[in-house]
Amino acid sequence: MSDSGLGFSVKRFIIFIVGSAVAILVFEGMGEVGGNMIKGQVSKTTSKYHPERNVEDRIKPAFVLEDKVAIANAADTTDALVADEWNAEGSCEQVIEGNDMLQFNLKEMKVSAGCASVTVTLKHTGVMAVEVMGHNWVLSTDADFMPVATAAAGAGLANNYVPVDDNRVLAATSIIGGGEETSVTFSIESLQAGDAYTFFCSFPGHYAIMKGSFKVIA
């Protein structure tokens, strides 16, 4: 073997070629192994390779908020049933709920003109304190609703946010906080079937949302 003097020799050239070939084979081999590993992983984790799993299983989310859905459904059902039962048209016993989100569960209450007296029970289903999220149930004519609601703020919590000795107030419960319940029984002798009455919560600011229509039906 002769040396060209430039560091080149046939021997080195052959070693380089053989070395490259080995490196390529090893690289290809590794690629094959890696590819098979990926394929194996894919077959384990995708449904396509699991014919024993049915379509429902495959599309079923891994994590389902079943409890939450069940609770929501239960609440819907309960609300509807309770509203039907409690708010039965013409019933002399009315039950209404208020919550921590400034909501009454009823938009309308209908009592019969034949009721000797009407009892409205208010349940506060929330947890917030009376000073923060107090609710009451106040009845007035539609026309008196705004003036009474405005005057209520001045009456203060000590007076249940109900103007004192104000004959525009047709009925009113005391004001309650979360978890409490109160009721008022009143005569509807002075109320006229067909006239427009409004019930509302007179806690300052609540009347804008917490209100509904009260009707006396013949």
Q: Interface residues with Cu ion (CB under 5 A)?
A: 135, 201, 203, 206
Residue 169 vs 201, nearer CB to Cu ion: 201
Q: How far is the CB of 198 from Cu ion (least distance, A)?
A: 14
Element (H, E) at 107: none
CB of 210 to Cu ion, least distance (A): 5
In angstroms, what CA-CA distances link 141 with 1, 52, 108, 144, 147? Answer: 119, 68, 14, 5, 10
Judged by CB, which is closer to Cu ion: 135, or 215?
135
Residues 24 and 18: their CA atoms lie apart, in Å, by 10
Count of C-beta atoms within a 10 Å radius of residue 172: 24
Contact 184, 171 (CB under 8 A): yes
- Residue number with CB closer to Cu ion (115 or 120): 120
Residue of this chain nearest to Cu ion (CB atom): 201
Amino acid type, 137: W
Residue carrying structure tokens 């000590």: 158
Smallest distance, Cu ion to C-beta of residue 98, A? 6
Nearer to Cu ion, 149 or 201 (CB): 201
Nearer to Cu ion, 197 or 199 (CB): 199
Q: Which tokens go with 83?
A: 């509203």
DSSP string for 114-169? T-SSEEEEEEE-S-S-HHHH-B--EEEEHHHHHHHHHHHHHH-GGGTT--TT-TT-
Task: Find the shortest distance in angstroms from Cβ 64 to Cu ion.
Answer: 36
- Shortest Cβ 137–Cu ion spacing (Å): 9
Output 74 or 209, the one with its CB closest to Cu ion.
209
> What minimum distance in Å lies between the beta carbon of 200 and Cu ion?
9
* Sequence-separated (6 or more) residues with CB below 8 Å from residue 86: 93, 94, 95, 96
